Amino acid sequence: MTRNDIQFLWALLILIPVFMLSGCDQTNTETGLDVDAQGHIAASQSTRKANSEFGQELSWENQEDFEQAQRGFLGGSKDLRIQHADGRIIWNQPAYAFIKGDAPPSVNPSLWRQEKLNNINGLFKVTKGIYQLRGHDLANMTLIRGQSGWIIVDPLTAEETASAALELARKHLGSDPITAVIYTHSHIDHFGGVLGIISEKEVKKRGVRVIAPQGFMEEATSENIIAGIAMGRRSLFMYGKNLARSERGHIGSGLGKGPAYGTFGILEPNEIVNHSGQEKVIDGVRFIFQFAPGTEAPAELTFYLPDFKAFCGAEIVSRHMHNLYTLRGTKIRDALKWSSAIGEAMTLFGDAEIYFGCHHWPIWGNRKIMDFLTKQRDLYKYIHDQTVRMFNNGLTPSEIAEQLELPESLRKPFFNRGYYGSLSHNVKAVYQAYLGWYDGNPANLNPLPPKESGTRYIDMMGGADAVIVKAQEYYKKGEYRWVAQLMNHLVFADPDNKKAKALLAKTYDQLGYQSESGPWRDVYLSAANELRHGAPEKGLDMAVIKGVLEKTPVSYFFDSMAVRLNGPKAEGKKLTVRISFTDLDESYDLRLENSVLHHQKASLQLQPDVTLKITHDLFVRMLVGQLGIKEMVFSDDLSVEGSKLDLVSFLRLMDKPSANFNIVTP
């Protein structure tokens, strides 16, 4: 194989996405306005009025959440900055120090309140024997004292943040060893930092128990693989990755401040929870587990500590309305199953005197806990039942989202507010789960794509200049949703129109400032940022997820290859490629026919056109870009048998999708 062949192979084997894009340098391109460094303008009079009048029925004077969030504080750092090995700051708590006092005009006051609470960070005593580290990452890490050491629940997103959190805990609580790790569910903010607190070697040597719900490993390693490029790009909008931390930028996600973009890893569980009521004694501590798959995560558990009367709700309950659909793009979550799981927890653990979760702060007292669980249970069931009622009466998703309101008993508690999910997009998720994307109106069955429809709309409305004049009038009236629709048509019809992009950007600013949902705010403000400055310039940093890829079944990589096959280019081609992992003693046949790529365990009956022999370690190092071309060319861990030209021809059929594709422009 030639050096060029190897180089091409290396480039195309970068298959697995991770939602990590570097920010690009920002410059201010708007002048003559009150703008910040990224170009975000000041809150308009309409936005000031909307935010000042927002939530008049809410109990702003109630300080119980702040008391609960600070209860049991043992220590922390006001200057909590956590670095990656390459020098990047991956966690910067002081960047949010501006979130204090009353909400500025550019932030919804309810979201501001939530992010003041999420700013409270450090080590906290929940009760004797149970401690939490909050504000070191998007999620919480919980420590439960066993007879001989610590049981760790959910070791955060990144190795760096988990290590720093454990260091703080040991400073105050002692350096007892870790005797068990529990993953409550399969989202990376609850397991990705595990190698920062314990190594695989230590787990095996000391017999450390690693406990997870059934299906955890499959879900944890497959998340984002098929649709990861698109999900990764969209997650930058959802979490405001490239926004300044400021009153006109990112202030938090509602769920927490945001994910730590550090180094991700995973340890395979050696014990499984697969049914509700399952009991275990872990390092002398009694646990009763609830198996809750298909709720907030495909693989999820909660647990109860009967000797403490303490219930860990994982993420089936949170101090906000959660997502039935996430804006980064995921499969719809089952609102009815979710509500039922909360109801089951109430039945199983109804005598709980302490609630603690994997996000936010605890609740003490059975009456308060039951009120919280009841209203969270009924929140998701109400959204489900009323959406179904309304679509059975013929209403479309947008009509239901506009009309459906929660009853006062469910909308007034702060813990049910839409800080992360929103009533609007959760309603649409329920509709989609039952009826799909089509609303029944044939005009929406086969509409023109955005650029073509935008061009025609603008022409029908008298051209770009006339539309801008009219849109500016609506902007002055504060009709920002309508201005966004108008200007979106114009930007897609004429993406070089600077006036249109500027008006749309400042419209998105106002919509972001008024949003109670942290992700909605970040989406709007990220859109405004990219209209002004363009999409990020840098691509993916694969090295951060190497620890997860090493534990990912190689068959998942081939699923990713299949969705990157360019069907039109592959038409009429037929080929079989065998990939043999010499250190795993595993071989797979990739068969191309009918412009479709299939994979299966290698068959003795099948004669491949070409065979690539490679070690799994080399394969993963190639995936994360840790291997240079020269090293690969001379590596003894890679060889090709058969037609090298066939291999190169096969690989040239694979798309290399861009991780910084346009979203707000064509």
Q: Which pLDDT tens digit goes with each residue over 508-566?
A: 999 999 999 999 999 999 999 999 999 988 755 666 777 888 888 888 888 888 999 99
What's the average model confidence in pLDDT over 311-337?
Answer: 96
User: Which of 335-339, 529-533, 604-608 has the least mean pLDDT?
Assistant: 604-608
Q: What is the mean pLDDT of the chain?
A: 92
pLDDT digits 0-9 by tens, 355-407: 999 999 999 999 999 999 999 999 999 999 999 999 999 999 999 999 999 99
- The token pair that represents 257 in the structure block: 């401040």
Which comes out higher in pLDDT, residue 37 or 24? 37
What's the average model confidence in pLDDT over 578-605?
Answer: 94
Q: CB-based contacts of 449: which residues, under 8 Å, 6+ apart? A: none
**Sequential DSSP letters for 17-57:** --S-B----------SS-B-TT-PBPPPHHHHHHHHTTTTT
- The token pair that represents 473 in the structure block: 């009038």
State residue 1's pLDDT score.
43
**Whether the predicted pLDDT of 465 surpasses 90:** yes
Eight-class DSSP state of 94: G
What's the average model confidence in pLDDT over 639-656?
Answer: 88
Using DSSP's 3-state secondary structure scheme, residue 458 falls into helix
Which comes out higher in pLDDT, residue 657 or 172? 172
Beta bridge partners of residue 416, listed in sequence order: none
User: Could you tell me the pLDDT band of residue 30, with boundaries at 50, 70 and 90?
Assistant: very low
Q: Using a pLDDT cut of 90, give the percent of the chain over it.
A: 81
State residue 326's pLDDT score.
96
Residue type, 427: V
List of domains in the chain: 3-16+552-651 (3.30.1050.10)
Using DSSP's 3-state secondary structure scheme, residue 627 falls into coil
State residue 11's pLDDT score.
37
Chain-centre distance of CA 317, in angstroms? 17
Distance CA 379, CA 153 (A): 27
State residue 2's pLDDT score.
42
pLDDT digits 0-9 by tens, 215-226: 999 999 887 778
Query: Residue 544 — φ and ψ, nearest 5°?
Result: -65, -20
Q: Which helix (H) or strand (E) holds 509?
A: helix 498-514
- The token pair that represents 340 in the structure block: 């039922």
**Whether the predicted pLDDT of 209 surpasses 70:** yes
Which comes out higher in pLDDT, residue 305 or 650? 305
**Whether the predicted pLDDT of 14 surpasses 70:** no
State residue 555's pLDDT score.
87
**Whether the predicted pLDDT of 250 surpasses 50:** yes
Eight-class DSSP state of 264: -
Residue type, 47: T
Q: Where are the beta strands (DSSP E) in 394-471?
A: none
- The token pair that represents 274 in the structure block: 């697969």
Using DSSP's 3-state secondary structure scheme, residue 557 falls into helix
**Whether the predicted pLDDT of 168 surpasses 90:** yes
State residue 633's pLDDT score.
54
Query: HSE of 145 in the Cβ direction (CA atoms, 13 Å)?
Result: 14
Distance CA 212, CA 271 (A): 7
**Whether the predicted pLDDT of 277 surpasses 90:** yes
Asked if residues 160 and 196 have their Cβ atoms less than 8 Å apart, the reply is yes
State residue 408's pLDDT score.
97
Chain-centre distance of CA 421, in angstroms? 12
Distance CA 661, CA 663 (A): 7
State residue 374's pLDDT score.
98
**Whether the predicted pLDDT of 638 surpasses 60:** yes
**Whether the predicted pLDDT of 114 surpasses 60:** yes
The pTM (predicted TM-score) of the whole model is 0.93
Distance CA 58, CA 140 (A): 27
Distance CA 97, CA 95 (A): 6
**Whether the predicted pLDDT of 83 surpasses 70:** yes
**Whether the predicted pLDDT of 191 surpasses 90:** yes
State residue 5's pLDDT score.
42
State residue 628's pLDDT score.
60
Distance CA 72, CA 67 (A): 10
665 burial (CB, 10 Å; 0-12 / 13-18 / 19+) is: middle
State residue 9's pLDDT score.
41
**Whether the predicted pLDDT of 612 surpasses 80:** yes
Which comes out higher in pLDDT, residue 634 or 199? 199
State residue 542's pLDDT score.
66
